[in-house]
Each structure stands twice: as C-alpha cells, then as structure tokens.
C-alpha cells in the first residue's frame, strides 16, 4: 500500500492503514475458527506454551479464542463477542465470530471501492433489521404441543451435539440433555444439573440419574442406605489444631501432657457431636474432615456421616436438598436442614458414590459422563454444557428455526430483496451483508469437503424459488428438506449471532474514525 506524506490525506492514509490492520486481525481470527464450524468441522489441538504437558482438544469456538492471547485490538473485540454469546446463549460462538469476520471482509472490499465506513454501517444496520425480520418470520413455535416441542428440543440438541465430540452418540446424549432440561420446568438454572466425570468405560456408558450424586461415601461401618433423610450440611472443623501443634512441640519428654491435651480434645469433639445430635438428623455432611473418633460417635448415634465433601458438591447438595450450609451449632431452630427420600451408596464404574433420591428440588438430576481419558471427558462436558444452555434457553424462548444454512439463506434473500429497494451506495453495503450471510452455508459445505460454490448456489436457487425449508444435508452433500431431516436450531441463538456479529462489525468500522482523528506517530518512519 502506498502511503502519501502530504497534508490531510496522509492522515487519512494512516487511518486507513490502521483500520486495515484491525480488519486483518479480525478476519484472521474468523479464519482461525471457521474450520471448526458445523457437523464436519475439525477439532483443534490447543497446546499451552508455558506448560507443554497441558493441552486440550476442542472445536468449541469460545474455548479456542479464550486460550489464545491476541494482542490485536480488533481480534479482542471478536473474542469478546464470542464470550458474550457464550454467556448469554451458551453456543454459537464460532458462528458469531465467523459472521463478524465475513462482514468485515465485505466491508474491506467496499472501502476499496471508496465507500465511507459510515455508509457501510448504515447499510449493515438496514440489512441486519431485515435479516432479523426474516428470521422471525421463518421461525416456528411449537410450545403449545408438548410432543412436538420435545422433538424440537431433541433436534436442537442433536444439531448442537453434531458439531462436537459426542456426535457419534448424539441420539443418546440428546435424549439425556433434553430429559435433564425438561426436569427444570422452565428454569434456566443449570446448577440443578450436576455433571460427574469418571474416567473409564465408553462415552455411550454415560447416563442420567434422577437425584443428586455426591462423589463421596459414608463413614466406615455405617449403614449403606438411609431412608427419610434429615440432613445437616456443615462447614466446620471437628478438631482444633492444638494436638498437632503441641504434639510437635513437646515430643516424647512430655507424653503425659500430650495425653492430657488429647483427652481435652476428645471432650471437645464429643461436645460438638452432642450439639449436632440435637438437630434430630440422621445424616451429617461436612466440608472438612470428621476424623475417627467423632465418626464413631455418629455411628453409635445412628447418624451417617460424610466428610471432606468438595466445595461444588456441598453447594449443590445444599441447593437441591433445601439445606443451608452451617458453621456453628448453637441455634438449631434457625438452621435449615436438607431433606430427601433416601440416600444410598451406588457403584459407578469402580467407584462408590452416594446418591440422594427424592430431593426437595425435584428438578435436580445428575449426568454421569464416562469416557476413556480426561481430555475426552472434559470436551464431552463442554459439549453437554453447550447443549444444556441452548436447550434451557429454548424452554424460555420457544421459537426454533432451521439449520443447514437454511435460515441464513432465507435471511440473505430477504436482505437482497431489501437492497433492490434502496438507492445509492448504501444498497451495496446491504448486498454485501447478504453475501456475508451466505458465507455461513458455504463454510459448512467446505468443512464437509464438498464443492461449496456448487452446493450453495443450488441451495440459493432452492430458497430463492420459494422452497424455504431447504438446507444443506452435509452427510450426503445435497440440498434437502431440513424440516424432514430434523435439522433444527434455536431461534434465540441465531438471532444473537446475527445481531452481535453486526454490532461487532460496526464497532470495528467505527474504530477507524477514532484512529483517523488521532494518527499514530509510529507511522512517521514511512
């Protein structure tokens, strides 16, 4: 690029240089993640540069972007919107990144044709509104028909999972995720769904269990099963550190002193156990250690105890059993105990765990994931989590639309039609927006190894000829009816993708104006 040195123009050129480098950064990020898009997308192996032992395999856009340190400010904007998308909808992070990058690629061409960024922004805004209007029209709502809605959810789950590690077993995991989410009865609080990962077995050995499973077991020689459980959940230390401290200080010469201390200590422990017994419970769960002596006291009093439960486990257990975590025992009447119908030890793989059934929060459940390695389990958990987020959002916003590039092509058509109605250079920007939308089906086809230009033009003519349920069948490389194939996606997800991608493109188009007003002195040496 030639840079002129004279007058105001030079300032503008510098601004353009800066803008170009911002665009290049954003487009590079889009190119980086786009090969992971869709059911045939590739996984990425991420390797930590500081710790060579740390690596993970993923095709989750947000995970990839989070793991890579970008110093390009434009790239940071895209990383940010993918994060927002992840937080709000839980999936679609790759799509939003790719669409923003495509919008910027188009903007770059428009700027080369001397179209002002402000005009592009105006055009993109008009196009975005048209696209969202079309998306609204093309979406359907089956919320009133329970069976149809469930099948929508299953299809959404399958679509989400098909681009992830669970695609082999997607029917099973779709059922599992939908059952879990429907138990929530419209709540989006995924804390009620506990996910436990256990290395060993196959992914298809994973299952959903009603109730809550804690990765812990009862004390030695306590009954393995408990009915009508009244549970006190505590975070308290059952010893004081004195024995350890004094034990170290006095060593052998003062064994009698040590024995005395131990006696006092035992009395304290006993005292605490007595206080806990007053709650009228039959199960005591502590976040900290309980030790042998208090445990035997509990056993004698027909109270089952579980010690050293992890933070997450304790918090969720309190939530689902309706209990409060307590740390002092002086006011039993003020404490909320937890309840459930039964607690029993169960075997998962080779591990004994404790299952709480018939918990106060009837919606709670546990998904137990099995798999060959930690890495497989971690990626499976991310996939399941994405599916659960999207599904729970869909129980709120119940509209759905079609996948396989169908909704995008429908939006693209609507935007094209709107462009025909607009005069002036703005219309070029509107057309470019339509073109960017068509890149999504195109990338899907590329990733599946098909001739994308041929396939997408077939899809385009199908949709433009009014066959509005057409989309890409990426298993067979043909245009097919998405409704028939059950390739369904969440309306909310798609809406967020289009709206946020447009917003991000706009932010980056504006960045230019700021840079232009304050040219960077670093450009002096040109």
Interface positions with ligand NAG (CB under 6 A): 80, 84, 134, 137-138, 235, 287, 311, 314, 325, 410, 413-414, 417-418, 421, 468
Nearest distance from C-beta of residue 225 to ligand NAG, angstroms? 27
Q: Rounded distance, CA 192 to CA 185, Å?
A: 11
Q: Which is nearer to ligand NAG, 76 or 277 (CB)?
A: 76
The least distance separating ligand NAG from the CB of residue 77, rounded to whole angstroms, comes to 6
Q: Shortest distance, CB of residue 410 to ligand NAG, whole angstroms?
A: 4
Compute how many other C-beta atoms are within 10 angstroms of the C-beta atom of residue 267: 10
Coil, helix or strand at residue 359:
strand
CB closer to ligand NAG, 193 vs 496: 496
Residue among 12 and 312 whose Cβ is closer to ligand NAG = 312
Q: Which is nearer to ligand NAG, 17 or 417 (CB)?
A: 417
**Nearer of residues 80 and 296 to ligand NAG, judged by Cβ:** 80
CB of 115 to ligand NAG, least distance (A): 21
Min separation Cβ 254 and ligand NAG, Å: 30
Query: Minimum distance from CB of 474 to ligand NAG (Å)?
Result: 21
Residue 414 beta carbon to ligand NAG: minimum distance, rounded to whole angstroms:
4
Q: Within 13 Å, how many C-alpha atoms sit on residue 264's CB side?
A: 11
How far is Cα 401 from Cα 430, in angstroms, rounded to an integer?
Answer: 23
CA distance 366 to 3: 62
CA angle 311, 247, 327 (to 5 degrees): 30
Given the complex with ligand NAG, which of 222 and 502 has the nearer CB atom? 502
SS3 4: coil
Using alpha carbons, select from 379, 349, 366, 374 the residue that is nearest to residue 167: 379
Do the strands 283-286 and 304-306 form a parallel or antiparallel pair, or are they unpaired? parallel
Is the Cβ–Cβ distance between 409 and 438 less than 8 Å?
yes
Q: Tell me the closest approach of the beta carbon of residue 53 to ligand NAG, in angstroms.
A: 30
Closest CB 104 distance from ligand NAG, rounded Å? 16
Residue listed under structure tokens 């509209």: 399
Task: Identify whether the C-beta of residue 131 lies closer than 8 Å to the C-beta of residue 414.
Answer: yes
Which of residues 162 and 410 has its CB atom nearest to ligand NAG in the complex? 410
Segment (H or E) for 186: none
- Distance separating alpha carbons of residues 212 and 180, to the nearest angstrom: 12
- As measured in angstroms, the least distance from the Cβ of 304 to ligand NAG is 21
Are the C-beta atoms of 290 and 311 separated by less than 8 Å?
Answer: no
Nearer to ligand NAG, 273 or 463 (CB): 463
Dihedrals phi, psi of 410, to nearest 5 degrees: -60, -45
For ligand NAG, the closer CB: 73 or 477 = 73
Tell me which residue of 142, 153, 158, 148 sits closest to 179, measured CA to CA.
153
> What DSSP line would sit under 473-508, residue for residue?
ETTTTEEEEHHHHT-EEEHHHHHHHHHHHHHHHHHH
Whole-number Å distance between alpha carbons of 234 and 341: 20
- Dig out the tokens for 108 from the structure: 């770059």
Nearer to ligand NAG (CB atom), residue 138 or residue 361: 138
């Amino acid at each position: 690029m030639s840079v002129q040195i004279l007058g105001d123009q030079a300032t503008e050129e510098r601004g353009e240089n800066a803008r170009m480098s911002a665009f290049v950064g954003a487009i590079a990020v889009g190119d980086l993640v786009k090969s992971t898009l869709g059911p045939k997308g590739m996984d990425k192996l991420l390797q930590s540069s500081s710790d060579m032992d740390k690596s993970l395999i993923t095709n989750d856009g947000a995970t990839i972007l989070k793991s890579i340190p970008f110093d390009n400010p434009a790239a940071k904007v895209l990383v940010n919107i993918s994060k927002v998308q992840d937080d709000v909808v839980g999936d679609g992070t790759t799509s939003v990144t790719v669409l923003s990058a495509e919008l910027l690629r188009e903007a770059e061409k428009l700027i080369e044709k001397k179209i002002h960024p402000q005009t592009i922004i105006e055009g993109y805004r008009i196009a975005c509104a048209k696209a969202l209007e079309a998306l609204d029209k093309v979406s359907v709502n089956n919320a009133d028909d329970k069976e149809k809605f469930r099948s929508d959810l299953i299809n959404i789950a399958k679509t989400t999972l098909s681009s992830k590690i669970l695609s082999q077993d997607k029917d099973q995991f779709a059922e599992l995720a939908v059952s879990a989410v429907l138990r929530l009865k419209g709540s989006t609080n995924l804390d009620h769904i506990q996910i436990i990962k256990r290395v060993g077995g196959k992914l298809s050995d994973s299952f959903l269990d009603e109730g809550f499973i804690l990765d812990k077991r009862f004390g030695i020689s306590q009954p393995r099963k408990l009915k009508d459980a009244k549970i006190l959940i505590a975070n308290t230390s059952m010893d004081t550190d004195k024995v350890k401290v004094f034990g170290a200080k006095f060593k052998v010469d003062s064994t009698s002193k040590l024995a005395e201390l131990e006696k006092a200590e035992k009395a304290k422990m006993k005292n605490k156990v007595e206080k806990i017994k007053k709650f009228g419970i039959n199960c005591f769960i502590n976040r900290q250690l309980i030790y042998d002596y208090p445990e035997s006291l509990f056993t004698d009093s027909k109270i089952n105890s579980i010690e050293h439960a992890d933070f997450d486990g304790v918090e969720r257990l309190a939530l689902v059993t309706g209990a409060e975590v307590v740390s002092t025992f002086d006011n039993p009447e003020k404490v909320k105990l937890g309840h459930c119908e039964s607690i029993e030890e169960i075997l998962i793989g080779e591990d004994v765990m404790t299952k709480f059934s018939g918990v106060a929060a009837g919606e709670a459940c546990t998904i137990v994931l099995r798999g060959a390695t930690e890495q497989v389990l971690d990626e499976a958990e991310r996939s399941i989590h994405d599916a659960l987020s999207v599904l729970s959002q869909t129980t709120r916003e119940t509209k759905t639309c079609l996948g396989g590039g169908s909704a995008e092509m429908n939006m693209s058509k609507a935007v094209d039609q709107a462009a025909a109605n607009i005069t002036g250079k703005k219309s070029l920007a509107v057309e470019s927006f339509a073109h960017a939308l068509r890149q999504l089906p195109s990338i899907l086809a590329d990733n599946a190894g098909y001739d994308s230009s041929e396939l997408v033009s077939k899809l385009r003519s199908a949709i433009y000829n009014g066959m509005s349920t057409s989309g890409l069948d990426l298993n067979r490389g043909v245009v097919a009816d998405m409704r028939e194939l059950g390739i369904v996606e969440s309306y909310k997800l798609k809406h967020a993708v289009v709206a946020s991608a447009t917003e991000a493109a706009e932010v980056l188009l504006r960045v230019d104006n700021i840079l232009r007003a304050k040219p960077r002195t670093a450009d002096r040496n040109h």
